[in-house]
């Protein structure tokens, strides 16, 4: 079915083959995803710990201080857990954090994690920008992350995973290899524009701390239950390749109780003989390799 608003308009899609498997022949892949985010001056997250929003025009210092936890404490607890478990994750990073805390972003990259561009700030969303503004935002974010890590980011995920209709084309022109600005499939797929291509790596919200833990007041343990259910259903009901990507935010789940649940998820994934764990860039490389051999 074609839609008038299609972010891949003009591109030719190639899906993973029906017999696609992840590295090592594994049918199930787990991609740990961490969002490390911040907002422009005078802005704050739309989701916060208080259920009663302030009247318009008044700064929500409660939401601001809640979000500050991410770069004050949360990111370090997350990095410690990943190091303890000896696993690598994909980090969505706001460019402003690379600008103000380059040493933290360098630590993420030096630990072997993938650093993904997540726009300059969470309120700079591509769909709100004209083409010139969007190009400038891509360049600014890319350069800040490259300066902090010593390498150009290969992946891009917009705030809310919400692109404009031109985002994939602009990302491809900027040298990006993949984006996560869609929720329309279970597995990544290649989109070719002429002689170049970009991989669309869909996101999902099945195991995500914002909707299940923060927004609806569930216990962080609920994330572990959801992950267990996802593994069980993948084994019992799915026959093809499966992608599971537990997603947390440094300012939401970087706190002690939530991190305990997240570490249990990691332990469960590591102990599963039928699971491969890696970064999204590694998944992209594997897909391209499989398609090249087809």
Say if residue 16 is exposed, middle or buried (CB neighbours under 10 Å; 0-12, 13-18, 19+).
buried
Domains of the chain: 12-40+62-293 (3.20.20.370)
Closest CA to 85 of 115, 104, 111, 116: 111
Nearest to 168 by CA among 197, 137, 203, 202: 197
Tell me how far apart the alpha carbons of residues 87 and 120 are, in angstroms, rounded to a whole number: 27
* Angle at alpha carbon of residue 226, lines to 221 and 229, rounded to 5°: 130
pLDDT at 1: 45
Closest CA to 223 of 209, 203, 242, 204: 209
What is the predicted pLDDT for the residue at 272? 97
Tokens for 293, please give them: 């051999």
pTM of the model: 0.95
**Helices 221-237 and 256-271, interaxial angle, to 10°?**
20
Closest residue by Cα to residue 32 from 282, 229, 236:
282
Rounded distance between C-alpha atoms, residue 31 and residue 101, angstroms: 25
pLDDT at 2: 47
DSSP secondary structure, the chain, as one string: ---SS-TTTT-EEEEPPTT--BGGGBSEEE--EEEE----TT---SS-S-SSPPPTTS--HHHHHHHHHIIIIIHHHHHHHHHHHT---EEEE-HHHHHH-HHHHHHHHHTT-EEEE--SSTT--GGGS-HHHHHHHHHHHHHHHHHHHSS---EE--GGG---TTHHHHHHHTT--EE----S-SS-EEEEETTEEEEE-----TTBHIIIIIIS---THHHHHHHHHHHHHHHHH--S-EEE--EEEHHHH-SHHHHHHHHHHHHHHHH-TTEEE--HHHHHHHHHHHHHH-
Edge-to-edge strand list for the sheet holding 242-244: 242-244, 28-30, 275-277
Cβ atoms of 151 and 128 closer than 8 Å: no
- Residue 93's nearest CA partner among 140, 156, 47, 45 is 156
Below-70 pLDDT ranges, the chain: 1-5, 212-216
């Amino acid at each position: 079915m074609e839609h008038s608003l299609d972010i891949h308009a003009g591109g030719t899609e190639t899906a993973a083959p029906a017999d696609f498997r992840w590295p090592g022949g594994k049918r199930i892949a787990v991609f740990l995803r961490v969002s490390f985010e911040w907002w422009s001056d005078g802005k704050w997250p739309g989701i916060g710990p208080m259920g009663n929003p302030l009247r318009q025009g008044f700064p929500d210092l409660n939401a601001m201080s809640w979000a500050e936890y991410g770069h004050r404490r949360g990111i370090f607890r997350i990095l410690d857990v990943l190091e303890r478990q000896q696993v690598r994750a994909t980090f969505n990073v706001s460019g402003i954090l690379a600008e103000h805390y380059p040493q933290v972003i360098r630590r993420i990259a030096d630990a072997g994690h993938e650093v993904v561009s997540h726009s300059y700030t969470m309120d700079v969303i591509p769909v709100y920008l004209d083409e010139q503004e969007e190009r400038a935002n891509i360049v600014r974010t890319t350069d800040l992350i490259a300066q902090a890590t010593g390498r150009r980011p290969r992946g891009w995920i917009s705030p809310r995973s919400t692109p404009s209709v031109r985002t994939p084309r602009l990302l491809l022109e900027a040298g990006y290899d993949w984006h996560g600005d869609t929720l329309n499939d279970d597995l990544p797929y290649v989109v070719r524009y002429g002689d170049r291509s970009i991989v669309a790596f869909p996101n999902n919200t099945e195991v995500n701390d914002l909707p299940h833990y923060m927004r609806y007041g569930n216990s962080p343990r609920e994330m572990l239950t959801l992950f267990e259910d996802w593994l069980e259903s993948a084994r019992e009901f799915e026959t093809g390749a499966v992608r599971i990507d537990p997603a947390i935010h440094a300012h939401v789940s970087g706190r002690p109780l939530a991190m305990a649940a997240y570490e249990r998820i990691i332990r469960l994934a590591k102990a599963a003989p039928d699971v491969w764990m890696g970064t999204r860039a590694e998944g992209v490389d594997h897909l391209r390799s499989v398609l090249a051999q087809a």
